[in-house]
Amino acid sequence: MTEPVALSDIKNDLGLDPGATDQDARIERLIKAARRSVEKRIGYSIVGDAPTIPVDDIDVVRQAICLIVATWFALPEGVSVDGRAGSVELPLGVTWLLDPVAKWAED
């Protein structure tokens, strides 16, 4: 199964040496976990034989996956904004990217 974001793209975003492979397995796990989290959040499948995500939204979803992977890579224990507000699991940009893409249940 081909993920929507390539390992090389994430390594470039993170400023990692493209030739270094010591973090590749970890990054690939993060990409898969981020993609699955995004699929769950938006209600569309992104990969597989018959993805259901609208074609116009795939670039937005890719960007969200990149943000999630970068956050998890840099801060695997979670994020605390100011120590008082509790943990924040995803950067705000992810919410802004994915909310317009998400399928909403009809009332």
Counted domains in the chain: 1
Q: Within a domain: residue 2?
A: no
Answer whether 63's CB lies under 8 Å from 4's CB. Answer: no
Q: Within a domain: residue 106?
A: no
Q: Within a domain: residue 104?
A: no
Q: Within a domain: residue 24?
A: yes
Q: How far is CA 6 from CA 9, 30, 92, in A?
A: 5, 12, 23
Structural domain boundaries, residue 45: 7-98
3 falls in which pLDDT band (50, 70, 90)?
Answer: very high
Note the pLDDT tens digit of each residue in 40-92: 999 999 999 999 999 999 999 999 999 999 988 987 766 555 555 555 566 66
Q: Within a domain: residue 11?
A: yes
Beta bridge partners of 80: 87
Q: Within a domain: residue 37?
A: yes
Residue type, 16: L
Q: Within a domain: residue 1?
A: no
